[in-house]
């Protein structure tokens, strides 16, 4: 199938759709795919994506990892579904032989604690993870050193690691085939931009969207899947949503002396993370010197961040990385939920057919299968069926009842 032909279509084929999804990246495409694969749904769907190259989307600039080491049972369950989805990807999408068989590269996440507060937090979260069926284990510094001799653990009190369904997975391929599957099943994607949203006379429902091309499209429901621009879309209705773009920096490097075994995705107490990337390459990520809201279009590198902060922290933890060579680097954006760093999914409390699927704060890719499935259930049945995601509802923001996730990277 040639997807490019779909992007040549600037004008929608209908004047009204049952569902309009604003944003065609991972959340929009996961929703579209699950809708299109559900036998109980035969409605019309339009996906509007302003940049069909996805060059600057969070989906394209992710580090593509999965973990179960969360502090909330619900987030653990979501990751467990994603792991099953990835490992049985072809089956979930109908058994098409063109769809590749995928796996998870299970080098795991290694969280390191260098003070009592961090150690107690890992121990507390560990209990939640075990209860949810995660394979997390707590390691003493001596145990860490025996298994991973390349670490400097002189300042470490303990570590937490899980090597079952934690590590790297091919998020790009999953995204590509979610989108392909949706299009193959009749979901319409267009390259355009939503510039206005109109409500009915009572203000209780969305009735239409306006496109930059001038088209006015009627709709039964609208899904805000616009990533970092969630607030921009919501403000078209006078709705506030606490989601903003924040920079995350990534470097891929080779080492003169590669490690003798795979490097887990290591969460250093400094907040920097580093992991295996290829057989002899590694990937590191960090916030900037400040972690504030940035412009939607600001993807500039900080020329001093690596040399002055990130690399020294990495070398302190893994001395073998004293001699390295940067291969590539980039900046991506988190769609950061400033309220509680958790997803916002479901209808607005007053405009009932305006749906959020926003604010994933860096763990959106790994949550996309469960979120897309959950959103499709809300749209088709009016309720969740497989996994209750109601803890992520917009109502908690209105009621000032945060659902905090402690394990944010």
3 state SS of 277: coil
Same domain, 353 and 238: yes
Same domain, 201 and 212: yes
Inside any domain, residue 293: yes
pLDDT (average), residues 172-193: 96
Residue 255: pLDDT above 80? yes
Residue 8: pLDDT above 60? no
Q: What is the mean pLDDT of the chain?
A: 95
Q: Which of 151-154's residues contact partners 24+ apart within 8 Å by CB, and which partners?
A: 151/266, 151/317, 151/318, 152/316, 152/317, 152/318, 152/319, 153/112
Same domain, 192 and 272: no
Same domain, 357 and 252: no
Same domain, 156 and 251: yes
Residue 26: pLDDT above 60? yes
pLDDT (average), residues 231-236: 97
Kindly report, residue by residue over 115-130, the tens digit of the pLDDT.
Answer: 999 999 999 999 999 9
Same domain, 328 and 261: yes
Number of domains, the chain: 2
Residue 102: pLDDT above 70? yes
Q: Helix 26-36 to helix 171-184 angle, to the nearest 10 degrees?
A: 40
Q: How confident is the model at residue 11 (pLDDT cuts 50, 70, 90)?
A: confident
Same domain, 36 and 161: no
Same domain, 198 and 154: no
Same domain, 215 and 175: yes
Q: How confident is the model at residue 283 (pLDDT cuts 50, 70, 90)?
A: very high
Same domain, 317 and 345: no
Least Cα distance to 354 among 162, 212, 226 occurs for: 226
Structural domain ending residue among the three candidates 281, 313, 335: 335
pLDDT (average), residues 302-328: 97
Res 9: pLDDT: 60
- CATH assignment of the domain containing 279: 3.30.9.10
Question: Could you tell me if 125 and 69 are in contact, meaning their C-beta atoms sit under 8 angstroms apart?
Answer: yes
Q: Helix 364-381 to helix 73-87 angle, to the nearest 10 degrees?
A: 90
Inside any domain, residue 409: no
Same domain, 161 and 251: yes
pLDDT (average), residues 235-262: 96
Res 71: pLDDT: 94
Inside any domain, residue 82: no
Inside any domain, residue 74: no
Inside any domain, residue 87: no
Structural domain ending residue among the three candidates 284, 302, 335: 335
Inside any domain, residue 75: no
> Which domain range does residue 128 map to?
105-167+244-335
- CATH assignment of the domain containing 50: 3.50.50.60
Residue 305: pLDDT above 70? yes
Structural domain ending residue among the three candidates 308, 335, 362: 335
Residue 323: pLDDT above 80? yes
Res 46: pLDDT: 98
Same domain, 252 and 306: yes
Residue 364: pLDDT above 70? yes
Q: Note the pTM of the prediction, 2 decimals.
A: 0.95
Inside any domain, residue 91: no
Inside any domain, residue 88: no
Kindly report, residue by residue over 240-253, the tens digit of the pLDDT.
Answer: 999 999 999 999 99
């Amino acid at each position: 199938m040639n997807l490019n032909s779909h992007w040549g279509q600037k004008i929608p084929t209908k004047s009204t759709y049952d569902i309009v999804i604003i944003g065609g990246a991972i959340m929009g495409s996961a929703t579209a795919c699950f809708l299109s694969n559900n036998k109980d749904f035969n409605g019309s769907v339009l996906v509007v994506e302003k940049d069909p190259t996805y060059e600057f989307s969070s989906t394209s600039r992710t580090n593509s990892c999965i973990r179960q080491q969360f502090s909330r049972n619900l987030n653990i369950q979501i990751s467990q579904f994603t792991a099953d989805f990835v490992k049985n990807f072809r089956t979930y999408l109908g058994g098409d032989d063109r769809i590749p068989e995928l796996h998870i590269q299970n080098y795991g996440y290694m969280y390191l604690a260098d003070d009592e507060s961090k150690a107690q937090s890992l121990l507390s979260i560990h209990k939640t993870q075990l209860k949810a069926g995660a394979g997390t284990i707590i390691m003493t510094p001596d145990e860490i050193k025996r298994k991973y001799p390349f670490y400097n653990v002189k300042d470490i009190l303990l570590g937490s690691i899980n090597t079952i369904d934690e590590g790297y997975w091919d998020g790009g391929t999953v995204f590509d085939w979610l989108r392909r599957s949706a299009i193959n099943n009749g979901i319409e994607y267009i390259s355009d931009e939503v510039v206005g949203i109109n409500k009915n006379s009572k203000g209780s429902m969305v009735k239409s969207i306006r496109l930059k091309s001038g088209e006015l499209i009627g709709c039964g429901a609208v899904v805000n899947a616009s990533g970092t621009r969630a607030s921009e879309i919501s403000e078209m209705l006078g709705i506030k949503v606490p989601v903003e773009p924040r920079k995350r920096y990534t470097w891929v490097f080779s080492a003169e002396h590669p490690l003798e075994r795979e490097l887990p995705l290591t969460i250093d107490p400094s907040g920097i993370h580093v992991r295996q990337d290829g057989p002899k390459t590694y990937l590191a990520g960090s916030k900037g010197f400040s972690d504030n809201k940035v412009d939607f279009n600001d993807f500039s590198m900080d020329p001093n961040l690596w040399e002055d902060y990130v690399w020294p922290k990495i070398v302190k933890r893994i001395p073998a990385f004293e001699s390295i060579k940067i291969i590539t680097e980039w900046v991506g954006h988190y769609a950061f939920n400033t309220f509680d760093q958790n997803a916002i999914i479901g209808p607005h409390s007053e405009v009932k057919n305006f749906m959020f699927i926003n604010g994933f704060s860096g763990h959106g890719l790994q949550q996309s299968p469960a979120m897309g499935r959950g959103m499709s259930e809300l749209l088709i049945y009016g309720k969740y069926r497989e996994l209750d995601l109601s803890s992520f509802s917009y109502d908690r923001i209105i009621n000032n009842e945060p659902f905090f996730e402690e394990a944010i990277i």
